[in-house]
């Protein structure tokens, strides 16, 4: 699908995505383009649209390059982060003839929110370079929102682990579920960090490639501001990763404590019932000459011995603090 946007009175307005009619169009957005759409756009713009396989390549030379006067930049962006299965996928930005072309196979939220906001507020989208800067700013804001939510989720998990001190409450907290949630948070933080690093590389390349196209001081300042924001978000991501790692270790430690408590209970039970079992086994043997079998107090004496032999180990363990 091809979507096109043009600038009217410093506002970004949607128009027909017809490759044959690109007059005034400052942004062309390709969402899962078909081969026919790619061919038509390549003919209209005189550039080669990268394929999905080329976008997935991880070499810097395959993601950041200049060809036929057009600047190609590919970044990895997250989408569906509100669901249980967020995904990250490459998005390619192409600057050609002061026009921006984006190729993507996912739906990052910034691609929905930025055009809506740019249609109401002036974001400097007079040409493709301005649209790209506004789009990158929106994406960085979105990444910050994702990290803020991740921080709140990790804090909630920490409260579930450490504030439920009672054994019963901790069991109700379901440490296995908490482990799964910590793993999901760790995976999300890792993906966000990868996306931030890819955006940082795009900004570094853009700052060099955009100089011959735009010399305004405001543009350079916007790029520097985004670069500083990215670095601060990377640091914040590292902090969240450390918290998640600490929380993972603590949860595993609590699980070990629970398992040790269960093993200790059965060990004590085995020791407590071992002497009574021994006494019962002795008097359960079928020998003819056992004097206690003919005593009137033989049975109560055996019961008393079994009770005493069970109570004494229990009291000893209790005194030493093993229970």
For CATH 1.20.58.340, the residue range(s) in the chain are 261-319
CA 151/CA 236 separation, integer angstroms: 9
**14: which strand partners?**
5
Residues 49-82 pLDDT 10s:
888 888 888 788 788 888 878 889 988 988 888 8
Tell me 103's DSSP state.
E
Other C-beta atoms closer than 10 Å to the C-beta of 263 total: 10
Question: What DSSP letter does each residue of 133-197 carry, written as one string?
Answer: HHHHHHHHHHHHHHHHHHHHHHHHHHHHHHS--SHHHHHHH-HHHHHHHHHHHHHHHHHHHHHHH
Predicted confidence (pLDDT) at residue 201 exceeds the cutoff of 80: yes
User: Would you call 207 helix, strand, or coil by DSSP?
Assistant: helix
Q: Are 115 and 106 in contact (CB under 8 A)?
A: no
CA 38/CA 69 separation, integer angstroms: 18
pTM across the whole model: 0.75
CA 159/CA 23 separation, integer angstroms: 57
Backbone angles phi and psi of 203, in degrees to 5: -65, -40
Work out the average pLDDT over 166-194.
76
Q: Which CATH number fits domain 2-258: 3.30.460.20, 1.10.540.10, 3.30.300.30, 3.40.50.300?
A: 3.30.460.20
Q: Angle at the Cα of 148 (from 201 to 155), degrees rounded to 5?
A: 130
Considering only the top CATH level, what class is 261-319? mainly alpha
Predicted confidence (pLDDT) at residue 33 exceeds the cutoff of 50: yes
Q: Residue 172's pLDDT is what?
A: 46
Q: What is the mean pLDDT of the chain?
A: 82
For CATH 3.30.460.20, the residue range(s) in the chain are 2-258
Predicted confidence (pLDDT) at residue 185 exceeds the cutoff of 80: yes
Q: Are 48 and 67 in contact (CB under 8 A)?
A: yes
């Amino acid at each position: 699908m091809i979507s096109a946007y043009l600038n009217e009175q410093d506002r970004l307005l949607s128009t027909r995505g017809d490759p044959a009619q690109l007059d005034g169009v400052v942004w062309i957005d390709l969402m899962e383009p078909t081969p026919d759409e790619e061919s038509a756009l390549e003919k209209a713009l005189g550039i080669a649209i990268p394929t999905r396989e080329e976008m997935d390549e991880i070499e810097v030379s395959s993601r950041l390059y200049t060809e036929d006067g057009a600047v190609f930049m590919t970044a990895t962006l997250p989408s569906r982060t509100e669901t249980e299965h967020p995904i990250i996928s490459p998005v390619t930005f192409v600057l050609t003839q002061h026009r921006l072309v984006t190729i993507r196979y996912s739906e990052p939220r910034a691609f929905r929110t930025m055009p809506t906001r740019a249609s109401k507020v002036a974001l400097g989208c007079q040409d493709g370079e301005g649209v790209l800067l506004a789009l990158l700013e929106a994406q960085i804001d979105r990444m910050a929102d994702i990290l803020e939510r991740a921080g709140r989720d990790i804090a909630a998990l920490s409260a579930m682990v450490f504030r439920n001190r009672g054994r019963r409450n901790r069991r109700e907290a379901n440490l296995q579920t908490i482990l799964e949630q910590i793993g999901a948070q760790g995976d999300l933080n890792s993906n966000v960090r990868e996306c931030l690093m890819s955006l940082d590389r795009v900004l570094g390349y853009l700052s060099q490639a955009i100089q011959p196209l735009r010399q305004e001081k405001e543009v350079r300042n916007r790029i520097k501001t985004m670069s500083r924001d990215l670095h601060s978000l990377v640091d914040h991501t590292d902090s969240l990763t450390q918290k998640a790692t600490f929380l993972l270790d603590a949860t595993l430690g609590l699980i070990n404590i629970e398992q040790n408590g269960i093993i200790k209970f059965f060990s004590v039970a085995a020791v407590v019932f071992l002497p009574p079992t021994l006494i019962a086994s002795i008097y359960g043997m079928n020998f003819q000459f056992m004097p206690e079998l003919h005593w009137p107090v033989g049975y109560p004496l055996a019961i008393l011995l079994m009770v005493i032999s069970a109570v004494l180990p229990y009291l000893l363990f209790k005194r030493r603090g093993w229970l």
